[in-house]
Amino acid sequence: MPVSWIGILLVAGLASIGSCSAAAVEYDANAVIINGQRKIILSGSIHYPRSTVEMWSDLIQKAKAGGIDAIETYIFWNAHEPRRREYNFAGNLDFVQFFQKVQEAGLYGILRIGPYACAEWNYGGFPVWLHNIPGIKFRTDNEIFKNEMQTFTTKIVNMAKEAKLFASQGGPVILAQIENEYGNVMGSYGEAGKSYVKWCAQMAVAQNIGVPWIMCQQSDAPSPVINTCNGFYCDTFTPNNPTSPKMWTENWTGWFKKWGQKDPHRTAEDLAFAVARFFQYGGVLQNYYMYHGGTNFGRTSGGPFITTSYDYDAPLDEYGNLNQPKWGHLKNLHAALKLGENVLTNSTVKSTKYSDGWAELTTYTSNINGERFCFLSNTKMDDLDVDLQQDGKYFVPAWSVSILQGCNKEIHSTAKVNVQTSLIVKKLHENDKPQKLSWVWAAEPIKTPLHGRGRFKASQLIEQKAATNDETDYLWYMTRDDSKKIFHPHCHSMQYRVDNNKTASQNMTLRVKYSGQFLHAFVNGKEIGSQHDYGFTFEKPVLLKPGTNVISLLSVTVGLQNYGEFFDEGPEGIAGGPVELVDSSNTTTNLSTNEWSYKVGLIGEGRGRRFYDPTSGRAKWISGKLRVGRAMTWYKTTFQAPSGTEPVVVDLQGMGKGHAWVNGNSLGRFWPTETADPNGCDGKCDYRGKYKDSKCLSNCGNPTQRWYHVPRSFLNNGSNTLILFDEIGGNPSDVSFQITATETICGNAYEGSTLELSCNSEQRIISGIQYASFGDPQGSCGSFQKGSIEASSSLSAVEKACIGKDSCSINVSKTTFGVKDSFGVDNNRLAVQAVCTGYNENDEENHTQKKEN
Ligand code: GAL
């Protein structure tokens, strides 16, 4: 008997008001049951604020084309409630519209309300005002927190109900999540943590949404809430209730990136292996985290130090391009799994081991008609041959799962990639000439802070979030030694002036205990140094002059912590310090309770910290000689949008660290000078063996992030404005706008199959075949070589089929290549390497004709 969801009784009532018919979402251990239909669900995460409204449909369609059934997203509390009870659901925060598009595409939705998200999102999704409420304790049995969490959860649920988003109302949402991976940190919260989990479940269930609630990584999830698994592999996971389906809410398709780190890569083979293993071991629902990672626009990246790109090496890249072969290989896997859906969701299971236990055959036999469906896995690092007697002999590559329809026909091998590999490049559009950008600049007015004058004062070093409400990355802490309040520890409470009686300058050390990410220190108007890390002690020699000395410290956040027990309580900024002056005899003067003056944000950030108008203060744009390599500088230019419709990026090579805006839209933080470690990219990437985020790295020694996404919807046809703020000094002379395009594509296919090649854009065509060989070609994409035999018409046949088209398919057969039956080897194969080029719009007719032929 399937488990009926608690709110299912509501279904009939809610259905009568819905435009689409209500669906009952039920489940048992072997299936999610939607309107009586037993299903396995393949889902993918796309976070709505990490792209633009204009991108949503395309992303969702590409997910659908990739064989995805459901789209999953968190809800991001701090984006929706930036100030207490002031809500924002506009633009790409319109989660209702996002789910409506999911439904229009015929897909299901999974709503992870949290409202704690983690997600490499600033402060894990918590608003900073929440932290600033006196007496609050996050994620535990604290009335103030629970009230706020309930208020927000109810707000989201009510909005979803009003828009009839739940399946029980005819909408797409089949599951909702409360909290997020609390089980990972719960131990640190003691008994209060346990009662908090119970409260979360009760509070969620009482929302009566008519579809099941889930909690991830929560082995004590109170029934009826279903606990689910997150990780690179979840095959061995079992839910805490025998009637719950085995669900995997986060299958990490790659990994996120921090400033200074290399590019992560999880191979298509290993990802497919993990998915197939999960279904081999009774999985019911699997979600890719991320299916499209996207971009951390504005100041939404968490961390600290998470990059602006949240590409994640996901099946759809940051810009929405197909990440091939990952996207296509998973698509093939999904198609194979769906062929087994009826059997998998209602069957008896048996397992048999082969090859000393390294190979395992899992046989699902349908309880209805006896039909069989098998998974044959090999967890060894070596290939195996497995003899299934009357069901055939199988070559099972190392670290792979073969899916056998009817248990005797291989329909997929996770280690055999039969789809194209695409090399996506950033380049000037073929129709565009290089633009020589002309720049104006403005210096951020810092004289006032350098003179120690801020907006408010306190005799303590204030925690940064408390001072800024996190409305800006920037906080100035300033003090002057003529304040007469300098505290000297050796003289206990005696107060005295540091240097007033001195007649000569004195060498001292300025020491700052720092809990933020980036600190710039100035003494008497001169920068004495800057440093960045995960909290550190800053120490620099300073020459103090007789009389008044001014110390100005600019603390910069690079995303707030998003994960860990009590992560929300970690101090930011100089937060209590101490800030000290140490003289040559090691005598320390503690300045922490000195009178400190504060200034929140930059002048150029303007009102409401919208970050794009440096002239809102006293600064003026200057068009003379360009100021380069100087900290705290604003730059402005105008530019034409690149031709075509492909995704646009701005190359910020040459810039230091700061923030970028196009036509007032934030592109996020930039930091091209922060490079990845030069070592550790050996070019080798073995898909075999357990993936971890230190495997298969690339981009050593290069800027962690050089290109920044400029969504097409930020651009207009005429003139566009780019504003850059550089905090550490840079040179915009090499900044340029480019498109991202599939340039080189490679394919491989065996005789008897079809090779599909695509430039992944209607605006690009296959303009040349660099290599084509039917026979026994050797090597791989980028280094194919002729083998011992090759059909002489290889190149001409492929050219005929593909040149001038945006996609083509070739039957890999002897007939296609006009060779005799006796030609070649047993296993002839076609390897192709082709080039895609943007076609000139004048050639439109020509192109269309070729396509039609
Ligand atoms: C999980 C978390 C996600 C995300 C992921 C790493 O632990 O639930 O929100 O942070 O790790 O990308």
DSSP result, 271-296: HHHHHHHHHHTTEEEEEEEEEE--B-
The reply to whether 179 belongs to the active site is: no
Q: pLDDT value at position 53?
A: 98
**Environment class of 776 (CB within 10 Å of its CB; exposed 0-12, middle 13-18, buried 19+):** middle
pLDDT interval class at 641 (50, 70, 90): very high
Predicted local confidence at residue 607, as pLDDT:
62
Among 457, 519, 446, which Cα is nearest to 483's? 457
CA of 121 to the centre of ligand 1 (A): 10
Q: How far is the CA of 477 from the centre of ligand 1 (A)?
A: 34
Residue nearest atom 11 of ligand 1, based on CA coordinates: 119
Give residue 119 CA to ligand 1 midpoint distance, Å: 5
Q: What is the mean pLDDT of the chain?
A: 92
Residue 117 CA to ligand 1 center (angstroms) comes to: 8
Q: Average pLDDT, stretch 678-695?
A: 92
- Across the range 733-759, mean pLDDT stands at 92
pLDDT at 2 over 90: no
For 482-519, write each residue's pLDDT tens digit. 533 343 444 333 333 344 455 678 899 999 999 999 99
Q: Looking at ligand 1, which atom is closest to the CA of residue 181?
A: 8
Q: Is 287 in the pocket of ligand 1 (CB under 6 A)?
A: no
* CA of residue 164 to ligand 1 center, whole Å: 28
Ligand 1: centre distance to CA 118 (Å):
6
User: Catalytic residue among 72, 120, 148, 250, which?
Assistant: 250
Is ligand 1 within 6 A of the CB of residue 230? Answer: yes
Ligand 1 within 6 A of CB of 572: no
Is 179 touching ligand 1 by the criterion CB < 6 Å?
no
Does the pLDDT of residue 619 top 90, yes or no?
A: no
pLDDT of res. 779: 86
Mean pLDDT of 40-64: 98
Contact 313, 291 (CB under 8 A): no
Atom of ligand 1 nearest to the CA of 255: 12
Ligand 1 atom, smallest distance to 184 CA:
7
User: What would the pLDDT profile of 376-391 be if each residue is shown by its tens digit?
Assistant: 999 999 999 999 999 9
Q: Which residues are 303's β-sheet partners?
A: 561
Q: Which CATH superfamily is domain 447-601 in?
A: Galactose-binding domain-like (2.60.120.260)
The residue type of 359 is A
Closest residue CA from atom 10 of ligand 1: 119
Q: Whose CA is nearest to atom 5 of ligand 1?
A: 119
CB 530 near ligand 1, within 6 Å = no
Q: Which atom of ligand 1 is nearest to the CA of 119?
A: 9
Q: Establish whether residue 229 lines the binding site of ligand 1, counting it when its CB lies within 6 angstroms of any ligand atom.
A: no
Q: Are 17 and 42 in contact (CB under 8 A)?
A: no
What band does 323 get if pLDDT is binned at 50, 70 and 90? very high
Residue 847 has pLDDT above 90, yes or no: no
120 lines ligand 1 (CB under 6 A): yes
pLDDT in tens, 109-159: 999 999 999 999 999 999 999 999 999 999 999 999 999 999 999 999 999
pLDDT of residue 611: 58
Q: What percent of the chain has pLDDT over 70?
A: 92
| In the chain, where the domains are located | 3-323, 447-601, 751-852
| Atom 3 of ligand 1, residue of closest alpha carbon | 119
**Residue partners of 630: CB distance under 8 A and separation at least 6:** 443, 729
Q: Tell me the best of 74, 110, 120, 309 to mutate to test the pocket of ligand 1, counting ligand atoms within 8 Å of each CB and taking the most.
A: 120
DSSP percent split of the chain into helix, strand, coil, nearest 5: 20, 35, 45
What's the rounded mean pLDDT across residues 796-810?
A: 96
Give me the CATH topology for the region 3-323: TIM Barrel (3.20.20)
Ligand 1 centroid to residue 163 C-alpha, Å = 28
* 685, 267 Cβ separation under 8 angstroms: yes
pLDDT at 762: 83
Answer yes or no: is pLDDT of 7 > 70: no
**Ligand 1, closest atom to CA 118?**
9
CA of 258 relative to ligand 1 center, distance in Å? 14
Q: Ligand 1, from 118, 218, 261, 565: best to mutate by most atoms within 8 Å of Cβ?
A: 118
Residues 828 and 750: beta-carbon distance below 8 Å = yes
For a mutational test of ligand 1's pocket, the pick from 249, 250, 261, i.e. the residue with the most ligand atoms closer than 8 A to its C-beta, is 250
Predicted confidence at residue 610, as pLDDT, reads 58
Long-range contacts (CB closer than 8 Å, 24 or more residues apart) made by 196-201: 196/139, 196/140, 196/141, 196/146, 197/221, 197/222, 198/222, 199/141, 199/146, 201/225
Report how far ligand 1's centroid is from the alpha carbon of 473 (Å). 23
Question: Ligand 1 centre and the CA of 229: distance in Å?
Answer: 11
Options 26, 181, 269, 595, the catalytic residue: 181
Angle of helix 190-205 versus helix 143-162 axis, rounded to 10: 20
Looking at ligand 1, which residue's alpha carbon is closest to its atom 6? 119
pLDDT band of 719, cuts 50, 70, 90: very high
CB distance 315 to 291 below 8 Å: yes
What is the pLDDT at residue 761? 85
Ligand 1 binding pocket includes 180 (Cβ within 6 Å)? yes
User: Is the Cβ–Cβ distance between 663 and 638 less than 8 Å?
Assistant: no
Category of 421 on φ-ψ map: left (φ > 0), alpha (ψ -120 to 50) or beta: beta
Say which range, 179-183, 495-499, 564-568, has the weakest mean pLDDT: 495-499
Q: Do domains 447-601 and 751-852 have the same CATH topology?
A: yes
Ligand 1 pocket mutation, candidates 126, 139, 181, 258, criterion most atoms within 8 A of CB: 181
**367 CA from centroid of ligand 1 (Å):** 38
The answer to whether 320 and 134 are in contact (CB under 8 A) is no
Task: Answer yes or no: are the C-beta atoms of 725 and 732 closer than 8 Å.
Answer: no
CATH architecture of 751-852: Sandwich (2.60)
Q: Which residues pair with 348 in a beta bridge?
A: 365
Examine the residue annotation and report whether 181 is marked as an active-site residue of this protein: yes
Q: Is the beta carbon of 313 within 6 A of some atom in ligand 1?
A: no
The reported pTM is 0.94
For the cut 50, the answer to whether the pLDDT of residue 458 exceeds it is yes
Pick the atom of ligand 1 nearest to 120's CA.
Answer: 10
Please list the alpha-helical segments (H only) found in 83-229.
95-104, 128-131, 143-162, 190-205
Confirm or reject: Cβ of 812 under 6 Å from ligand 1: no
The closest-lying atom of ligand 1 relative to the alpha carbon of residue 249 is 8
- How many residues in total does the chain contain? 853
For residues 814-822, average pLDDT: 93
Atom number, ligand 1, closest to the C-alpha of residue 180: 8
DSSP state of 190: H
DSSP 787-833: -S-B-TTHHHHHHHHHTT-SEEEEE-STTTTT--TT-S-TT-EEEEE
Contact 178, 155 (CB under 8 A): no
Q: Whose CA is nearest to atom 9 of ligand 1?
A: 119
Distance 120 CA to ligand 1 centre (A): 7
Position 749 scores a pLDDT of 84
- Cβ of 256 below 6 Å from ligand 1: yes
Q: Which token pair is 413? A: 């091998």
Stronger pLDDT, 791 or 484, i.e. the higher one: 791
118 in contact with ligand 1, CB cutoff 6 A: yes
- Single out the residue of 177, 258, 171, 65 nearest to residue 756, CA to CA: 65
